[in-house]
């Protein structure tokens, strides 16, 4: 232990401080044991990139894991990387890049949305929120890439599940359960994450000026094609100023369909796709790899909503419901774009009230979907339900919460009242 | 394990058999309750045939409401329930208990909805894995996970075990291809997790239920993703003079950024056995044989096959044969998929093990298996999902000879312990069941197992749903919600374990 670590380890347990910054797993465990004993609620934080998502709740202390950071083991040939939970995504991606590998689920950088600049957060935070980028329908989300973890439950006990191999059905799949649990079940300490080779190249077919209805048809056809695209978005014309690329020959609404793989194959598939969709030459353009990468970075990081003052909802419905869902919101003052081939709807709302929120929630449910409030005025965060849930699942969630965190010391109330 | 103890039999349940059968006959159609030994016999075992037990009775519900009512009845009367799909599982997950009601889901055998717009199929749980592909293949779609038993295994069972298959390297296992389930909890609660969308919010109960081996709920409906079949699929058979060369070739293919749709290795013993059985055209003189398959567009597949050729040559491949037609490609796979019957020809019985290992440890682990084979004096043949590190040694033995069975079990346990030792897992896709229950402490410590048991108790407080499976537990401590297991040894060896 270095001098600095020693000093830190001496001060971290000072419970008079409101922010506790452990640097070892033992320290994290000590803090949690102490909090369990004294029933002290903790807010679990990393790099504060997504801490505004979720309900407002009262926590006496903040458990800040940003100093619990570092790559433990990276085995490119075994396709995994094992890291401490507070490791920045940026650092992981930089390391993977050296071996031409990547986190294929494209973690969203919420920094642009909340602060106007990049802050992609930590791996622990990304897994805890489980928001996947545009490649979701092809490769899965964070939950599909978490191979194993070690964490500390609400009693201060170190637990683990999974491992570093992809095929593993030993016991319950707690990797899935913890992904998307918003830090309410276990404080993650170490994560083994699947990594994949970067595609040799990536190009994007842009279709000009479609109506949303046509856009959904094109996206549906593309995603049901053996062309095997890895991204499918629709931006209405209100976003045109964000997409001034050299390769783009028009202004207005656009569909972007990404194709990745070996260079030969990508060119062949893009051509085939334009034929399958019966596109005339003046109806589409193709973004080369550099521009394609910028396009999808903007999309995955919600850069079109950069530093927005407005409210943002994330709605997911079966793609067959998207059009009807949008039509029912005709009279609401909003802008939106579609990802995941039309199934993921990012809704930016100018004015919001509990009444509007509840209306949208009901419409979402009517269309067999779910919504999550990503950004909302602070004073509404205590009263609004950030997530949708039914009473049966609430009851089960309560039991599961109790089985990990019996005294409700981890992010209490962040997801639901009483959980 | 041949002396494996199961949960203590509740004699009051046994003596109450007539009443239980009659009660259940008033909840569901009486003809759907089986209780005569002749009727029960077909249900006494699953794919792990070395272990058998007759259930108290079999209930065959036809609707989710019936499932709910039966579970509620059993929960209120403290009767154990063992769910069963097609009964093809290889770890004994649906082996009955003497005092249990076996819930046979065979009547849930219909595909409910094919939804091309949302690219999914909604089906009842006892539809077979392959039947889903059959239902959508006329439109060029298919369901990706393909366990070798796909012709017989049920999709509900696939969910319960999180089944994989030879193509899970590229397409993932069941959990990665599942959108939603309807499930009934032990207290009779009916609920749905997921639906037709990806990543339903809140806790991922869909993920928790997948692979929970029938301990947390009974699955009554399944929604799976379907994919458009790739345009071109080609496979290559590559022979290698040593296992090391084959292992190095696999590692290099992955390191070069190629992700094949499937990549299998068989050792010489299995290559010969399967080739004799199915005339697949395998290089039987090679010490190891690799089947590698790529799918996609023509250019894509050509590109990858070219790369693999180079890598194979660099790693001393002795032969390489490329499939010239789809028929030939299927013939390549027919041999691999017939690994079980082919071994059946070689020995009266075989036990199929299922460890996962880091890809780079293949040669080391196979050498250890060959050492153990000599030690236990039992022949073994090895199949390996090389792409994702899932190893299937087939140990040949004679189940009629208790000593042979005992040796086979020890041999198998030693292999799995070694898999864990080199950084792998006890089971890649077959599940823990009863087969690997006692080995859980090799992979997990007290606290890990305790956390999992707490989840079980939260959803099934009386531990009535499929008890005795997956977790090694001391009866007394289980009731208190604690286990005391360390290094496979219990602190109180005289207390019956389940």
Quick: pLDDT tens for B23-40. Answer: 999 999 999 999 999 999
Is residue B470 in a domain?
yes
Query: Do both B251 and B315 map to the same domain?
Result: yes
Which structure tokens are listed for B399? Answer: 């189940």
Q: DSSP 3-state helix, strand, coil percentages of chain A (rounded to 5)?
A: 35, 25, 40
Residue pLDDT, tens place only, B95-116: 999 999 999 999 999 999 999 9
Q: Are residues A41 and A120 in the same domain?
A: yes
Query: Which residues fall within 8 angstroms of residue B429, CB to CB, at 6 or more apart?
Result: A167, A169, B147, B161, B162, B163, B164, B165, B168, B173, B354, B390
* Shortest CA gap A394–chain B (Å): 9
Determine the average pLDDT of the residues in A363-389.
86
Instruction: Look at the block and give the residue holding tokens 């993703």.
Output: B225
User: Does B429 reach chain A within 8 Å, measured CB to CB?
Assistant: yes
Model-level pTM? 0.94
Q: Are residues B83 and B35 in the same domain?
A: yes
Same domain, A78 and A155: yes
Quote the pLDDT of residue B341.
Answer: 83
Across A230-256, average pLDDT: 90
> Which two three-digit tokens encode residue B233?
């699929």
Residues A27 and A146 in one domain: yes
pLDDT-based confidence at A383, cuts 50/70/90? confident
Among candidate residues B301, B319, B339, the one where a domain is terminated = B339
Tell me: the pLDDT tens digits for B368-420?
A: 999 999 999 999 999 999 988 999 999 999 988 999 999 999 999 999 999 99
Same domain, yes or no, for A26 and A92? yes
- At A396, the pLDDT band (50, 70, 90 cuts) reads very high
pLDDT in tens, B193-236: 999 999 988 999 999 999 999 999 999 999 999 999 999 999 99
Whether A123 and A156 map to the same domain: the answer is yes
Do A326 and A127 form a contact (C-beta atoms < 8 A)?
A: no
Summarize the confidence of residues A237-250 as an average pLDDT: 85
Residue B166, pLDDT score: 84
pLDDT of B473 higher than 90: no
Of B49-63, B266-280, B462-476, the one with minimum mean pLDDT is B462-476
In a domain, B179, yes or no: yes
Could you say which of A100, A166, A369 has the minimum Cβ distance to residue B389?
A166
User: Are both B187 and B290 inside the same structural domain?
Assistant: no
* Same domain membership, residue A321 and residue A295: no
Taking alpha carbons only, the member of A174, A239, A194, A236 closest to residue B453 is A174
Q: Which residues of chain B are within 8 Å of residue A185 when distances are taken between CB atoms?
A: 203
Higher-scoring residue by pLDDT: B228, A2: B228
Residues B224, B242: one domain? Answer: no
Q: Are residues B277 and B369 in the same domain?
A: no
The per-residue pLDDT for B206 is 98
B119 and B95, same structural domain? no
Cβ-based contacts of B169 with chain A (< 8 Å):
166
Determine, for residues A264 and B303 on separate chains, whether the beta-carbon distance falls below 8 Å: yes
**Cβ–Cβ contact B169 with A under 8 A:** yes
| Closest CA in chain B for residue A179 | B204
- Of A300, A334, A354, the residue that ends a domain is A300
pLDDT for residue A267: 94
> Which chain A residues are closer than 8 Å to B216 by Cβ?
172
Checking if the pLDDT of B477 tops 50, the result is no
- What residues of A are in contact with residue B193 (Cβ under 8 Å)? 393
Q: What share of chain B is helix, strand, coil (3-state, %, to 5)?
A: 40, 20, 40
Determine the distance in angstroms separating the CA of B118 from the nearest CA of chain A, rounded to an integer.
6
Residues A317 and A415 in one domain: no
Report the residue of chain A nearest B469, measured CA to CA.
A171
Q: Tell me which residue in B193, B251, B357 faces A165 most closely, judged by beta carbons.
A: B357
CA distance A343 to A338: 7
For residue A31, the model assigns a pLDDT of 95
Judge: B388–A165 Cβ closer than 8 Å, yes or no.
Answer: yes
End residue of a domain, out of B228, B251, B270: B228
Point out the least confidently predicted range of A38-52, A66-80, A160-174, B337-351: B337-351
The mean pLDDT of B132-158, rounded to a whole number, is: 95
The pLDDT tens digits for B264-295 are 999 999 999 999 998 889 999 999 999 999 99
Supply the CATH number for residue B351's domain. 3.30.70.2740
Q: What is the pLDDT of residues A5-32, one digit of tens each?
A: 555 554 456 777 899 999 999 999 999 9
**Residue A130: left (phi > 0), alpha (psi -120 to 50), or beta?**
left
- Structural domain for A310, as ranges: 303-380
Nearest CB partner across the interface for A172, out of B169, B196, B452: B452
Residue A392's closest chain B neighbor by CA?
Answer: B191
Q: Tokens 């997504």: give the residue.
A: A50
Residues A145 and A241 in one domain: no
- Looking at the structure, tell me whether residues A23 and A160 fall in a common domain: yes
Which pLDDT tens digit goes with each residue over B234-256?
999 999 999 999 999 998 998 88
If asked whether residues B236 and B224 sit together in one domain, one would say no
CATH number at residue A171: 3.30.465.10
In 3D space, the residue among B434, B464, B478 whose CA is nearest the CA of residue B13 turns out to be B464
Do residues A299 and A206 lie in contact, with contact meaning Cβ atoms separated by under 8 Å? no
Both B302 and B352 in a single domain? no
Task: Give the C-alpha separation, B276 to B335, whole Å.
Answer: 9
Among the ranges given (A43-57, A343-357, B478-492), the one the predictor scored with the smallest mean pLDDT? B478-492
In a domain, B428, yes or no: no
Report the number of distinct structural domains present in chain A. Answer: 3
Closest CB to B164: pick one of A167, A261, A388.
Answer: A167
What is the domain-level CATH number for residue B39? 3.30.43.10
For the cut 60, the answer to whether the pLDDT of residue A391 exceeds it is yes
Question: Closest partner residue to A262 among B208, B303, B458, by Cβ?
Answer: B303
Share of chain B above pLDDT 90, in %: 79
What are the chain B neighbours of A226 within 8 Å (beta carbons)? Answer: 140, 228-231, 297
> Which percentage of chain B shows pLDDT scores above 70?
94
User: Long-range contacts: B28-33, Cβ < 8 Å, 24+?
Assistant: B28/B59, B28/B60, B28/B61, B28/B62, B28/B66, B28/B69, B28/B70, B29/B62, B32/B59, B32/B60, B32/B61, B32/B62, B32/B107, B33/B57, B33/B58, B33/B59, B33/B60
Task: Work out the average pLDDT over B458-481.
Answer: 74
Residues A313 and A292 in one domain: no
CA nearest neighbour of B208 among A413, A171, A370: A171
Express each pLDDT in B67-101 by its tens digit. 999 999 999 999 999 999 999 999 999 999 999 99
Position B319 scores a pLDDT of 96
Q: How far is CA B236 from the centre of its chain?
A: 26
Q: What does the mean pLDDT of chain A come to?
A: 93
Are B97 and B140 found together in one domain?
A: no
Average pLDDT of the residues in A379-388 = 76
Closest chain B residue to A343, measured at CA: B197
Grouping H, G, I as helix, E, B as strand and the rest as coil, residue B246 is helix
**Predicted pLDDT of residue B258:** 87
Q: How far apart are CA A403 and CA B42, in angstroms?
A: 38
**N-terminal to C-terminal alpha carbon distance within chain A:** 38
Residue B346, pLDDT score: 86
Query: Cβ contact (<8 Å) for B118 and A144?
Result: no
Q: What integer pLDDT is reported at residue A251 of this predicted model? A: 80
Select the more confidently predicted residue: B491 or A247: A247
Q: For position B479, what pLDDT does the model report?
A: 33
* Mean pLDDT score, A60-73: 97
**Bigger pLDDT: A232 vs A8:** A232
List CB contacts (< 8 A) between B472 and chain A. Answer: none
pLDDT at A1 over 80: no
Q: What pLDDT, on the 0 to 100 scale, is given for residue B119?
A: 97
**pLDDT score for B2:** 52
Contacts with A144 from chain B: Cβ below 8 Å: 172, 175-176
Residues B48, B138, single domain; the answer is: no
Band of pLDDT at residue A352, cut at 50, 70 and 90: confident
**What confidence category does residue B482 fall into, taking pLDDT thresholds of 50, 70 and 90?**
very low
Whether A11 and A48 map to the same domain: the answer is: yes
CATH, residue B252: 3.30.70.3450
pLDDT of residue B54 exceeding 70:
yes
> Is the model more confident about B359 or about A42?
A42
* Overall number of domains in chain B: 5
In the predicted model, what is the mean pLDDT of residues A306-334?
95
B200 shares a domain with B267: no
- Do A175 and A64 share a structural domain? yes
Dist. CA A313–CA A333, nearest whole Å: 13
- Which residue of A99, A107, A130, A169 is the best one to mutate when testing the B interface, meaning the one whose CB has the most B CBs within 10 A? A169
Q: Which residues numbered 251-270 in B keep a CB inside 8 Å of some CB on A?
A: 251, 254-259
Domain that holds residue B458: 446-490
Q: Which residue has the higher pLDDT, A247 or A183?
A: A183
Q: For residue B476, name the pLDDT band (cuts at 50, 70, 90).
A: very low
Angle, helices B326-337/B339-346, rounded to nearest 10 degrees = 50
Same domain, B220 and B251: no
Secondary structure element (H or E) that encloses residue B181, with its range: strand B178-184
Q: How confident is the model at residue A87 (pLDDT cuts 50, 70, 90)?
A: very high
């Amino acid at each position: 232990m270095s001098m600095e670590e020693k000093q830190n380890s001496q001060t971290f347990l000072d419970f008079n401080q409101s922010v506790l910054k452990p640097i070892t797993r033992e320290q994290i465990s000590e803090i949690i044991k102490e909090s369990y004993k004294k029933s002290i609620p903790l807010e679990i934080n990393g790099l504060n990139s997504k801490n505004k998502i979720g309900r407002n709740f009262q926590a006496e202390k903040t458990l800040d894991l940003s100093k619990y950071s570092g790559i433990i083991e990276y085995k490119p040939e075994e396709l995994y990387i094992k890291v401490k939970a507070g490791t920045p995504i940026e650092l992981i991606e930089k390391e993977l890049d050296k071996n031409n590998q990547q986190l294929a689920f494209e973690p969203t950088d919420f920094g642009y949305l909340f602060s106007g600049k990049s802050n992609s957060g930590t791996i622990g935070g990304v897994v805890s929120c489980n928001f996947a980028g545009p490649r979701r329908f092809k490769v899965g989300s964070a939950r599909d890439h978490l191979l194993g973890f070690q964490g500390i439950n609400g009693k201060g006990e170190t637990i683990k599940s999974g491992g570093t191999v992809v095929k593993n059905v030993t016991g319950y799949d707690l990797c899935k359960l913890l992904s998307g649990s918003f830090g309410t079940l276990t404080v993650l300490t170490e994560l083994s994450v699947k990594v994949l080779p970067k595609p040799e190249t990536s190009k994007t077919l842009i279709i000009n000026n479609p109506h949303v209805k046509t856009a959904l048809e094109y996206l549906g056809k593309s995603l049901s094609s053996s062309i095997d695209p890895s991204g499918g978005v629709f931006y209405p014309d209100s976003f045109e100023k964000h997409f001034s690329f050299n390769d783009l020959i028009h202004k207005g609404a656009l569909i972007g369909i990404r194709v990745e793989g070996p260079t030969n194959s990508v060119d062949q598939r893009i051509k085939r796709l334009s034929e399958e969709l019966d596109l005339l030459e003046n109806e589409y353009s193709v973004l080369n790899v550099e521009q394609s990468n910028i396009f999808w970075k903007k999309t995955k990081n919600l850069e079109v909503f950069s530093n927005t003052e407005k409210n943002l909802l994330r709605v997911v419905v079966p793609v067959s419901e998207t059009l009807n869902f949008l039509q029912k919101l005709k009279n609401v003052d909003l802008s939106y774009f579609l990802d995941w081939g039309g199934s993921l709807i990012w809704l930016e709302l100018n004015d919001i009230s509990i009444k509007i929120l509840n209306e949208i929630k009901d419409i979402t449910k009517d269309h067999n979907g779910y919504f999550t409030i990503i950004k909302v005025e602070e004073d509404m965060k205590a009263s609004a339900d950030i997530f949708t849930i039914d009473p049966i699942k609430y009851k089960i969630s309560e039991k599961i919460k109790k089985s990990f965190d019996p005294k409700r010391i981890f992010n209490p109330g962040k997801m639901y009242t009483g959980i | 394990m041949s002396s494996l103890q199961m949960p203590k039999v509740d004699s009051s349940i046994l003596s109450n058999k007539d009443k239980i059968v009659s009660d259940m006959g008033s909840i569901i159609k009486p003809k759907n309750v089986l209780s005569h030994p002749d009727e029960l016999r077909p249900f006494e075992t699953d794919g792990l045939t070395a272990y058998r037990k007759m259930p108290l009775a079999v209930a065959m519900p036809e609707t989710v409401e019936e499932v709910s009512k039966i579970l509620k009845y059993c929960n209120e009367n403290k009767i154990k329930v063992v769910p069963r799909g097609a009964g093809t599982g290889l770890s004994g997950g649906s082996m009955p208990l003497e005092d249990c009601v076996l819930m046979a889901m065979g009547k849930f055998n219909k595909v409910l909805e094919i939804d091309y717009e949302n690219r999914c199929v909604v089906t009842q749980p006892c539809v077979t894995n392959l039947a889903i592909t059959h239902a959508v293949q006329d439109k060029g779609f298919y369901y990706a996970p393909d366990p070798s038993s796909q012709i017989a295994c049920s999709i509900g069972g696939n969910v319960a075990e999180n089944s994989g298959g030879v193509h899970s390297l590229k397409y993932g296992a069941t959990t990665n291809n599942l959108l939603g389930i309807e499930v009934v909890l032990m207290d009779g609660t009916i609920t749905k997790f997921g639906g037709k969308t990806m990543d339903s919010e809140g806790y991922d109960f869909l993920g928790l239920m997948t692979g929970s081996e029938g301990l947390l709920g009974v699955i009554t409906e399944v929604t799976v993703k379907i994919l458009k079949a790739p345009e071109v699929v080609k496979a290559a058979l590559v022979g290698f003079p040593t296992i090391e060369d084959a292992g190095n070739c696999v590692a290099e293919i992955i390191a070069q950024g190629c992700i094949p749709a499937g990549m299998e290795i068989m050792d010489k013993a299995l290559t010969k056995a399967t080739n004799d059985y199915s005339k697949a055209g395998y290089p039987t003189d090679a010490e190891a044989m690799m089947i590698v398959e790529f799918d996609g567009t023509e250019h894509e597949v050509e590109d990858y096959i070219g790369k693999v050729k180079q890598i194979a040559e660099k790693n001393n491949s002795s032969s390489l044969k490329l499939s010239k037609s789809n028929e030939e490609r299927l013939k390549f796979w027919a041999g691999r998929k017939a690994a079980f019957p082919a071994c059946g020809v070689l020995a009266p019985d075989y036990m199929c093990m299922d460890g996962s290992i880091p890809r780079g440890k293949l040669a080391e682990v196979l050498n250890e298996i060959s050492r153990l084979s000599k030690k236990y004096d039992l022949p073994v043949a090895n199949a390996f999902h090389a792409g994702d590190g899932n190893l299937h040694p087939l140990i040949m033995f004679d189940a009629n000879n208790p000593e042979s069975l005992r040796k086979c079990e020890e041999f198998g346990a030693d292999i799995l312990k070694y898999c864990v030792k080199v950084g792998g897992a006890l089971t890649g896709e077959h599940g823990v069941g009863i087969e690997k229950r006692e080995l859980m402490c090799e992979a997990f410590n007290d606290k890990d197992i305790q956390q999992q048991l707490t989840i079980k108790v939260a959803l099934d407080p009386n531990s009535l749903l499929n008890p005795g499976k997956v977790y090694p537990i001391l009866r007394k401590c289980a009731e208190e919600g604690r286990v005391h297991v360390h290094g496979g040894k219990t602190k109180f060896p005289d207390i019956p374990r389940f």
